[in-house]
Structures are given as structure tokens and as C-alpha cells.
A and B are shown apart, each in its own frame.
Chain A
Amino acid sequence: MASDKVTTFTDGNFDTDVLQASTPVLVDFWAEWCGPCRALGPTIDALAGEYAGRVSVGKLNVDENPGITVKYMVRGIPTVMLFKGGQVVEQIVGVADKAEFKKALDKHL
């Protein structure tokens, strides 16, 4: 299911790959056991393809990366945040339609 355009973000690479990235970065906070997260997966994969080169798209597993999960106070998944210049500029909680993500992304391009 995972597209090769989807990056894996971790507590270790978050600073360089998300906060210091030159493009906006879409981060999908997810976990293996979360049914709605799996339902959202294909939408995230599709966005990674459509916005390749313009937005960096990736997933952060909340089980394996408690540091970032706690830092951004994520207590519900799926939660998707858009980072630009190291700041959270958009966030969508729960499963949403691709159109809703595109609307949020296009505001910041």
C-alpha cells in the first residue's frame, strides 16, 4: 500500500526532514492498530504522488515515535498536520476526503 513517494518520519529525522525542509511537509500520524488510519492510507499515498516535488508527504508511526507525538500533543489518530517553515499551518483530524486535503495544501503553495 505504501507508495515510494511517502517518506517515513521518525523522532530522529523529524527536525531535518520536516522542520527544516524547504517545501511544505504533510505528516500523517498513524498506527498499525488504527482502522481509520488504514482507511486514510491510500489517500495519503495518492497525495504523495500528486504533489511530488511540491510537498513532501510522509507518515509518522505514533507507537514508535513517542517524542514527536507528545511534542505535538497528538492524542488521536489519524491526525494529519501540514508543516511550513517549521510551523504547523493546517491540521485535519480523522478520516477526510482527498478534496479536503487538497484544499488545505493548495492554500500554502
Chain B
Amino acid sequence: MAALTREVTIIGSGPAGLTAALYSARANLKPLVIEGLEAGGQLMLTTAVENFPGFRDGIMGPDLMAAMREQAERFGAEIIRGHVSSIDLSTRPFVMTVGDDRIETQTLIIATGASAKLLGLPSERALMGHGVSTCATCDGFFFRGRPIAVVGGGDSALEEAIFLTRFATQVTLVHRRDAFRASKIMQDKALANPKIVVEWDTEVVEMLDASAGAVNGIVLRNLKTGAQKTLAVDGIFVAIGHTPNTGLFTGQLDADAGGYLITHDGSRTSVEGVFACGDVQDHVYRQAITAAGSGCMAALDAERYLESIQPPPTTSAPS
């Protein structure tokens, strides 16, 4: 890729990034989207999305992302594979490295999203891919006719547990508290499912058996009684929330204690010309629709910023 300076570069290709791409493409800003390792974002790992407005009967997550991508491309967004390995926000234009390419851009829209959090046990790392998973839709298939555990108590944990009952003989939900954080509708669905049992007030002590090379059990401790027990399971799905993908920007952009980018006046970050949208700056709502909405805001903010630093292009289309 030639070292031409882009007007808008977007990092990330989930609902936030692709909506930002759609809006800035329609504003004739010819945005470049750098897809990232998890192209399409978290929705690629889901099944039916039933709360995205306009899809009365629901839509499959990967289908929704394919449609968003094609819509952005139709208006001239350029989407490339690869991920940003380094970025310098102290120079103008901003400079980043993608594989062997160097990309310069006047504005940057960060839509890098969030990735699944892990418990941090050594046995968890050792058994990843051999029974430990963060993606029920990817790996549920391997547990046909076997017992499994799901760790967590939010919407995604319950959704995964319900999905996994298609394959597993029994799904044990392991949750640290005595009540779920998940929405009422999800709780009702999960608790009514005869294949789902819940271990309340319980934490994971260890995943077994790293020396055998595959999961064959999980050691649990009841936080109220202190009692420990081992449950025989062949799979453990970890669904304890997400952590924002902000490693690239450490020390360059203001972030909160959890690592989420701090935005002000819409999507503006602590560096002028850098905007953030989607889960990378939102630990409260974290919905596809809020991510898309904030992607739209970032594109409009970037467009206005570009207008403020240069005369508007004569071919500018209404947004």
C-alpha cells in the first residue's frame, strides 16, 4: 500500500466500525477499515440476534455483520484484512503499522471492541482448545452427549448455557453470586431448561486435568460454606465478561481503571482527531445497536473535525 494519507481510518469491523465506515463512506471520505483479528467482532460468535431493530424475526449474527460490511463497501469503504501492530498518535498525520504496511491518517476512529475475559488460572490457559473455550457457537459441537460447565452469570453466560443444551447432556452454570446479572427473559429461559443446573455462590478453583491434556473435571468452591467439590465435565465455557482491546493505545489515550477509552462531547478521545465508538469505550450498554449508534457518532464527529481543519471538499455529499 502506498503511503497516501487517509482522511479517515477505522480500526475494527464490528457494528461500531462498520457503521462508522458506512457514514464516512457516504460523506465521500473513502474510509479505510482495518478489520482486525476478530473480523466482524463479537456478533460473529453469536447465533440469532433478536434485539436488533428492523429484523422482526431476528437475524443470525454473522449474517448481520456480512450485510453491514456489504453496505459499507457499496458506498466506497475499503476494508482490509490484518491488524494494527503499532500506532503513533503524537504525530500528524497519525501513523500506524499493519503487517508490512505503514498507514497515515488524518483522523482515526477506534472501534477495536472487547474480547472475552478469562479467569486467569494456569490450568485454564493450558487447556484452552482442549475443553476450555470462550465461544459456545464455535466449540459446542465437540460436547455432544457430554456434561459441561459454563462460568458466569450475565446475559452471555446464560445464552451460551441455553445454546449448549443442544449438545450437552447437562450444563452446570457456575456463578459467584446468589443471583444472575442477566436479563429477566434470559433467566426465565435458562432456569426453565431441564438440562441446566446452577451452582450459586461458587467459584472455580481449578480446571482438570492439565497433565492429561484435556478437560475432565472442574474443582468448585462454595463461597458461603467453603466446601469444595469436583464436578466431572468434558468442557468448560468461560463467559465472565469482556475486556476492552486498548493495548495499542496505552499511554497515548485517556482510559478508565478498566482500560476503557474515555470519550467526551460525543465520541472524542483525549487526542484531537481520534474518536472512539462501540465496546472499546462502553462498559455499560454493550449492545450491537448502541455500538452501531456510537459508530455513527464517531463518523459524524470525524467529518466535522476534518471540515474544521481544512476547507470542505467541493464534492461533499450530504450525510
Contacts and interface: CB of A to CB of B under 8 A. Distances in A.
Nearest to B62: A35
Nearest to B35: A39
A75 B131 contact: yes
Interface string B209-253: 000011100000000000000000011000000000000000000
Contacts of B44: 35-36, 39
Interface class of chain A by DSSP: loop
Nearest to B142: A75
Nearest to A39: B39
B62 A75 contact: no
B40 A76 contact: no
Contact of B132 (A37, A76, A91): A76
8 contacts: A39-B40, A62-B142, A63-B141, A73-B214, A74-B130, A79-B129, A97-B37, A99-B85
Given A36-B44, A73-B213, A76-B131, 11 more contacts: A33-B141, A36-B38, A39-B40, A39-B44, A42-B81, A75-B129, A75-B130, A75-B139, A76-B135, A76-B138, A94-B129
Contacts of B137: 35
Contacts of B234: 75
Contacts of A76: 128-133, 135, 138-139, 142
Interface size class of B (residues with CB under 8 A): 20 to 34
Contacts of A62: 141-142
Interface of A: 31, 33-37, 39, 42, 62-63, 73-77, 79, 91, 93-99
Interface of B: 37-40, 44-45, 62, 81, 83, 85, 99, 128-133, 135, 137-139, 141-143, 213-215, 234-235
Contacts of B40: 35, 39
A93 B126 CA distance: 10
B135 A75 contact: no
B37 A75 contact: no
Contacts of A95: 37-38
Of B132, B141, B213, which is in contact with the most chain A CB atoms at under 10 Å from its CB?
Answer: B141
Contacts of A98: 99
A95 to B, nearest CB: 5
Given A35-B40, A35-B62, A36-B45, A75 B133 contact: yes
Nearest to A36: B138
Nearest to B44: A35
Contacts of B45: 35-36
Contacts of B37: 39, 95-97
Contact of A75 (B38, B39, B85, B214): B214
A83 B142 CA distance: 23
A34 B135 CA distance: 10
A103 to B, nearest CB: 13
Given A35-B62, A98-B99, A77 B139 contact: yes
A92 B214 CA distance: 15
For the complex of A and B, the 8 pairs showing the least CB-CB separation, nearest first, are A93-B129, A73-B214, A76-B129, A75-B142, A79-B129, A76-B139, A35-B44, A76-B133
A106 B99 CA distance: 17
Contacts of B81: 42
